[in-house]
Chains A and B, each alone.
Chain A
Amino acid sequence: QVQLKESGPGLVQPSQTLSLTCTVSGFSLTSYHVSWVRQPPGKGLEWMGVIWTGGSTAYNSLLKSRLSISRDTSKSQVFLKMNSLQTEDTATYYCARDRAGSPFDYWGQGVMVTVSS
């Protein structure tokens, strides 16, 4: 069945780089896009960016200068890297399956990331 699972460090120091991995199963990264969505504690959802089936990417303009999404199709993994982290980046980070006209039908469980010294 379709599954997505995020992994990464729970704590990152300010100004450092966040690296997260989304490992998927039950579908191919060449058939479905994968988006990253984050949610600060007690707040709403924010779309961060997407990696499309062809490997191209698109980013939220508010994060574009700090964010990079890549993938390894052989390992069914999607990677998120975001630099210059600040306390405002403290959030639960989700990856979600995406397809033209049918986004976010499946989500990962999320990974909580705290930015603190």
Chain B
Amino acid sequence: DIQMTQSPSSLPASLGDRVTITCRASQDIGNYLRWFQQKPGKSPRLMIYGATNLANGVPSRFSGSRSGSDYSLTINSLESEDMAIYYCLQHNEYPFTFGSGTKLEIK
């Protein structure tokens, strides 16, 4: 199975900060990488698809990038509504695997 190593697990940040979350894939997954946002008591929400593409309705302060087997989610100018847990997902092959999650919280 493909392992997705996500870091950090917790990310204290201030409003207006620029933050980056990273997932490293244990095997080549191409651009079959998605990012999800999950708020307490809610279902995950698709934020980024194809490693770098913004999903419908997602604010432009979110962006995705790839460098080799490292995939990053960056949020520019953090807003209070961005406080949530973020997960990466590889869907290059079954079983699909998620990263362990990053909890973004106010410092």
A residues bordering B, Cβ < 8 Å?
35, 44-47, 50, 58-61, 94, 101-105, 107-110
Chain B, residues 46-90, CB within 8 Å of chain A (1/0): the string is 100100000100000000000000000000000000000001010
User: Range of interface residues on chain B?
Assistant: 20 to 34
- The answer on a CB contact under 8 Å between B1 and A61 is yes
Contacts between the two chains (Cβ within 8 Å), count: 47
Given A61-B1, A94-B43, A109-B43, the answer on whether A103 and B98 have CB atoms closer than 8 Å is no
Is the contact region of chain B dominated by helix, strand, or loop, or is it mixed?
Answer: loop
Chain B, residues 1-40, CB within 8 Å of chain A (1/0): the string is 1000000000000000000000000000000101010000
Which has the most chain B C-beta neighbours within 10 Å: A35, A44, A101, A110? A44
Closest approach, in angstroms, between the C-beta of B42 and any C-beta of chain A? 8
B residues bordering A, Cβ < 8 Å?
1, 32, 34, 36, 43-46, 49, 55, 87, 89, 91, 94-101
User: Chain A contacts of B55 at CB under 8 A?
Assistant: 105
- The answer on a CB contact under 8 Å between B100 and A44 is yes
Closest approach, in angstroms, between the C-beta of B24 and any C-beta of chain A? 16
User: Chain B contacts of A46 at CB under 8 A?
Assistant: 98
- The answer on a CB contact under 8 Å between A104 and B46 is yes
